[in-house]
Structure 1
Amino acid sequence: MGSARARIAIDAMGGDHAPAEIVAGALRAREELDVEILLVGDASQIQAALGERANTFPVEIVPSEGTIEMHEEPLSGLKRKPKASINVAMDLVKQKRADAVVSAGHSGAAMAAALLRLGRLKGIDRPAIGAVLPTIMADKSVLLLDVGANVDCRPKFLEQFAVMGSIYSQYVLGVEKPKVGLLNIGEEPGKGNDLAIRTHQMLEENNKISFVGNAEGRDVLSGNFDVVVCDGFVGNVLLKFAEAVGEVMLQILKEELPQGLHGLLGVALLKPNLNRIKQRVDHAEHGGGLLLGVAGICIISHGSSQAPSIFNAIRLAKEAIDHQVLERITSNYNQPAAPAAEVES
């Protein structure tokens, strides 16, 4: 849409704290990021969450009917509820009324709705969810994918994840020549299962990426890799473990700080440092994961997301739009976007 403001469709009914926290994060984004917001969901509930703030920073409310609950099977839920908030949000992108979708609801439903309504990019067999994690190096992060879209993978899927991840790392995260690693149990090319061994060979032969070899679990947050690829089963386990470590670290810091007056003085002196630590390890600071490989920008946030995480998810969506991630992936495969297709059950 050229230089026009990015228009972000928000699934206001998705997530544990919907719609209040979703709306609060969206309003902050409307104020600070210069984006247009379309809140999709139950109009009366959204209006109640907006309150008087709607007059200060106007947003558009797009009515929908129902939501896909966490216990529901994604495909059957989407078909039973064609006007569910995630379906309506995806349709806004398909109709060019929005540039991106952000949802903290059922992640499986969000992925399935994106595939059904937007389709895959031509040349991409499976989409992948990419998550940005901190590393031990200051001001450097690593993109891990897939973290949940595909439990089982083929070597060519992982190869495509590596290419898409490199493009995202280069143009959104600003890494000039992203170093790609394959998550494995050892550094040697012959280590791992059949999937890892075959994928290693394909990544070595791919001249579109800078493949530097296998990454063991301890290497993921080392800063030696910019992109790490794996199947969605392992990636999801690793992501949730990393998030738990961050939460534990923050809790330990709180418990170990001195108590009383000396503690208050110490916290005051350390506050800038503590804030920077929180920014580096708290998953809410990253907002969620970008669903790479579908013909539209889709950010999948945590179900427990509150306002700060939603704000950051919208920021992530805006960055993907501004840096033309879809166009760059499509151009890399030299193919136009594919029409929406049936999703495998």
Structure 2
Amino acid sequence: MSTVAPTVTGGKVLLLDVGLNVDCKPEVLAQYGIIGSIYAQAMLGIRNPRVAVLNIGEEETKGNAQSKAAYELMKESEEFNFVGNVEGSHLFSGQVADVIVCDGFVGNTLLKTVEGLFRINKALKIPETPFWRDMNYEYVGGTPVLGVNAPVVIGHGCSSALAIKNMILTTERCAQTGVTAKLQNAFKN
């Protein structure tokens, strides 16, 4: 699963995995780099997406065994534009990466934290800016499940009519851009 979030520069960032695979091997994280790069090109219109590993520091030597091994695999890959590690504080900057990969445990924790911040802003009646509007799951619609044989977008169990409409529009856009076929072609070998 992945999610698209806004950046303060007005762009978008793709975060994956956000909950499907909570224990990922480094090879899977490297595959997420390929998947995320293809999705960012097809769906977000980013020509050469910058791909990074979400980590506790930017240095190559930071992180747990999983993230260090993923870093090594991704550094050697010629299938995407790997830019190294990125810290969570840079997620929404738009200046470091366009695609950020992590396991589903970390990604889902981050996603739920951001959703909580959105609800806090609403409760405090902080005026909605375009940035925070794009954080609203109703406008995002749903989360694409990438790497399956057809466009699949899932949403919250409490999705409103607006969220469902936007899920349908996202699914339609996945079909129109041919992102599923592009992903299948990338993994034919």
Q: Tell me, yes or no, if the aligned pair for 1:189 and 1:197 is still in contact at 8 Å.
A: yes
Gaps of 5+ in 1: 1-128, 258-273, 336-345
Give TM-score, length-normalised by structure 2.
Answer: 0.94
| Partner of residue 143, structure 2 | 289
1:301 to 155, 169, 175: 155
SS in 2 for 1:182: strand
Taking a change above 3 Å as real, the CA distance of residues 223 and 275 of structure 1, as seen in their structure-2 partners, is closer
Aligned-pair CA distance for 1:275: 6.3
Q: Cα deviations across residues 269-313 of structure 1 (Å, max 9, x unaligned)?
A: xxxxx4635522312211111111111111110111101111111
Aligned-pair CA distance for 1:137: 1.4
| Partner of residue 229, structure 1 | 101
Q: Cα deviations across residues 139-183 of structure 1 (Å, max 9, x unaligned)?
A: x11110000011101011001111011100001110111011100
SS in 1 for 2:48: coil
User: Which is worse superposed, 280-289 or 194-203?
Assistant: 280-289
| Residue 311 in structure 1 maps to residue 165 in structure 2 | yes
* Higher radius of gyration, 1 or 2: 1
| Partner of residue 45, structure 1 | none
Aligned-pair CA distance for 1:333: 2.4
Select the structure with the greater relative contact order (CA < 8 A; seq sep ≥ 6).
2
SS in 2 for 1:185: coil
Aligned-pair CA distance for 1:135: 1.5
| Partner of residue 141, structure 1 | 12
Separation (CA, whole Å) in 2 of partners of 1:236 and 1:227: 16
Superposed, 1:117-266 pairs within 5 Å as 129-138=1-10, 140-224=11-95, 225-252=97-124, 254=125
Separation (CA, whole Å) in 1 of partners of 2:23 and 2:39: 23
Separation (CA, whole Å) in 2 of partners of 1:240 and 1:275: 20
Gaps of 5+ in 2: none
Q: Tell me, yes or no, if the aligned pair for 1:187 and 1:215 is still in contact at 8 Å.
A: yes
- The letter for the 1-side match of 2:144 is L
SS in 2 for 1:292: coil
- The letter for the 1-side match of 2:103 is D
- Identity across the alignment (%): 39
Separation (CA, whole Å) in 1 of partners of 2:27 and 2:12: 25
Superposed, 1:321-336 pairs within 5 Å as 321-334=175-188
Separation (CA, whole Å) in 1 of partners of 2:42 and 2:117: 29
Separation (CA, whole Å) in 2 of partners of 1:284 and 1:184: 29
Taking a change above 3 Å as real, the CA distance of residues 141 and 183 of structure 1, as seen in their structure-2 partners, is same
Q: Cα deviations across residues 6-53 of structure 1 (Å, max 9, x unaligned)?
A: xxxxxxxxxxxxxxxxxxxxxxxxxxxxxxxxxxxxxxxxxxxxxxxx
Q: Tell me, yes or no, if the aligned pair for 1:250 and 1:278 is still in contact at 8 Å.
A: no
- The letter for the 2-side match of 1:240 is K
Q: Cα deviations across residues 227-246 of structure 1 (Å, max 9, x unaligned)?
A: 00000001000001011112
Give TM-score, length-normalised by structure 1.
Answer: 0.53
Q: Tell me, yes or no, if the aligned pair for 2:8 and 2:92 is still in contact at 8 Å.
A: yes
Separation (CA, whole Å) in 2 of partners of 1:152 and 1:318: 30
Separation (CA, whole Å) in 2 of partners of 1:177 and 1:246: 30
| Partner of residue 62, structure 1 | none
| Partner of residue 133, structure 2 | 279
